[in-house]
Amino acid sequence: MTSTAYNYGTPSTGATTVNTGLAQMLKGGVIMDVVTPEQATIAEEAGAVAVMALERVPADIRATGGVSRMSDPDLIKGIIDAVSIPVMAKARIGHFVEAQILEHLKVDYIDESEVLSPADYVHHIDKSKFQVPFVCGATNLGEALRRITEGASMIRSKGEAGTGDVSEAMKHIRTINAEIAQLRSMAENELYVAAKELQAPYDLVRQVAHEGRLPVVMFVAGGVATPADAAMMMQMGADGVFVGSGIFKAGNPAARAAAIVKATTYYDDPEVIADVSTGLGEAMVGLNVSDLPAPHRLAERGW
Amino acid sequence: MAPKIGVLALQGAVAEHERALRDSGAEVRKVRRPAELEGLDGLVVPGGESTAMARLAAPVQLMPAIRHRLDEGMAVFGTCAGLILSADKVSDAEALVGFERIGGLGVVVRRNAYGSQVHSFEDDLEVTGLDSPLPAVFIRAPVIEEITSPSVEVLAEAHGHPVAVRHGRVLAASFHPELTPDYRLHQLFTDLSAG
């Protein structure tokens, strides 16, 4: 039996209601990068709605360099055992065998992520072949719709991971919002060319034009490091936030994690955000995206 | 007059419930603080992560405030995580220890009883009071392991477990009626809140 989810779900993709629906349950929440079972427990204790299991947070991937791959299955199993909330894990773009391994390990969501080194510079994973849901990164509407066509059940705007600089996250959500607003204002007979220009299927483009939003949940990622960053993304219309290096590269991870969770729920209340921002200690050091040479910008991976 | 129904909006499938309730004729508002419970005839506790909601509710003591309003006659509808937060007992409560829940529903539930996301499923349910099957989406769903009060009425079962129950002014489901366009369970709750 299949049913159409509340203004989500679409006949033209492989995504099922249970898979797009899990992302709907995460809305208004914070998903945190963790590299050990101990960190996963701290994240759950702080009120994370899910954890992302990986070997190194993006800031360390940047520092270390080299090829970055899926984590050791043992680490992922340890994290699954440590928490009761959903566990996500990253596969390289196009690496369908890493995805098969993660599905076998029974992770709750696979992130086909530009933070790892791409395995295929042309094709993404055919996500419709999997039972486990996928979240994919996007910097614009066309990219988001191409990922949804391939079967992604959730989108995460990319930002620039591992920097603590929220400007790219802002750029990507503004771009996606603006492109959706533009579709909404178009006449019905202009949507064919809009689909051509977005390089996305007409049916999905038409659906976005009618509903005024993506057909799946969209979180924001890449550079969120403070409660104020998270609240700003929520005020921009994000369904929730991913925080990567921002928590465990900061001075007091447990306090910062709980503060970001609270700021995400009370994102429109400056009194709460001011309160939780007080006395958090040092934020992650951070890198200005404008200082990063182009080959080191992760958001440009994915096509 | 349209009943006033709140949706607990700490995290989770809030917009989906708001839409279903409006469609059922209720006047709807979000609830994130105890003062926002004032004057409500009903409250939906949505699906999401019960651990996150319990922690967000704690600093403002929202769970005991909801229980207080329930005892005063406000109706409560818990779906998935909302069922966990409404149940009198949770058998695998490790991650909820030290945090208050609402309670008031005479059942014992187990969180994530079906396993990880690959075991999530859809089903069509025979529901007491509905004249045709209701589509139901189960996502990392809890299971009602035991009924501990004789006043609990089982409205639907799946795989040998109760999945929709009513106990006085509390309605609860282990699935997500807010994810399908069939809003009959929301209609039932809107009527319960009004009555």
Best residue of A3, A10, A129, A134 to probe chain B, by most B CBs closer than 10 Å: A3
CATH number of B70's domain: 3.40.50.880
Q: Residue A137 and residue A220: Cα distance in Å, rounded?
A: 9
Quote the CA–CA distance of B6 and B12 in Å, as a whole number: 14
pLDDT above 60 for A5 = no
Query: What is the residue range of A251's domain?
Result: 13-282
Of A292 and A77, more confident: A77
Burial B105-144 (b: 16+ CB within 10 A, else e): bbbebbbbbbebbbbbbbbebebeebeeebbbbbbbbbbb
Rounded Cα distance between A172 and A142, Å, is 12
Residue B41's pLDDT is what? 98
Q: What residues of chain A lie within 8 A of the CB of B182, using their CB?
A: 3
* Both structure tokens of B49: 């992560």
Query: How does residue A2 score in pLDDT terms, banded at 50, 70 and 90?
Result: very low
Strand pairing category for B4-8 and A50-53:
unpaired
Number of H helices, E strands in chain B: 5, 12
Give the best residue of B49, B174, B183 to mutate against chain A (max A CB count within 10 A): B49
Q: How confident is the model at residue A188 (pLDDT cuts 50, 70, 90)?
A: very high
Q: Tell me: pLDDT of A121 over 60.
A: yes
| B159 catalytic per annotation | no
Please name the residue that has the structure tokens 């609990």.
B152
B50 is in an annotated binding site: yes
CB B105 within 8 A of CB B83: yes
Contacts of A3 in chain B (CB under 8 A): 122, 135, 137, 179-182
CA A106 to chain centre: 19
Angle (deg, nearest 10), helices A141-149 and A202-211: 120
Average pLDDT over every residue of A21-37:
97
pLDDT tens per residue, range A148-183: 999 999 999 999 998 999 999 999 999 999 999 999
Let me know if residue A90 belongs to a domain: yes
Domain count, chain A: 1
Residues of A in contact with B141 (CB under 8 A): none
Q: Is B126 a catalytic residue?
A: no
Tell me the whole-structure pTM to 2 decimals: 0.95
What distance in Å separates the CA atoms of residue A130 and residue B40, rounded to the nearest whole number?
Answer: 44
Indicate which CATH number applies to the domain containing A134.
3.20.20.70
What's the domain range around B69?
Answer: 4-194
pLDDT at A285 over 80: no
Domain count, chain B: 1
Chains A, B: CB pairs < 8 Å: 141
Assess if residue A300 is contained within a domain: no
Pairing, β B27-31 against β B4-8: parallel
Interchain CB distance below 8 Å, A22 and B12: no
For residue B133 the two structure tokens come to: 């099957």
Of B15, B52, B92, the CB nearest to A48: B52
**Position B95 pLDDT exceeds 80:** yes
Is there a domain that residue A114 lies in? Answer: yes
A297 inside domain: no
Residue B110 assigned to a binding site? no
Q: Taking chain B, what is the end-to-end CA distance rounded to the nearest angstrom? A: 11
- DSSP secondary structure string, B124-166? EE--TT-SS-EEEEESS--EEEEE--TT-EEEEEETTEEEEEE
pLDDT of residue A83: 97
Per-residue model confidence (pLDDT) at position A14? 53
Yes or no, beta carbons of A47 and B182 under 8 Å apart: no
Mark residue A196 as left, alpha or beta (left: phi above 0; alpha: psi -120 to 50; beta: remaining).
alpha
Residue type at A208?
Answer: V
Report how far residue A34's alpha carbon sits from residue A249's, in angstroms, rounded to the nearest whole number: 11
SS (H, E, C) A217-249: EEEECCCCCCHHHHHHHHHCCCCCEEECHHHHC
Q: What is the pLDDT of residue A3?
A: 36
- Which is it for strands B153-158 and B161-167: parallel, antiparallel or unpaired? antiparallel
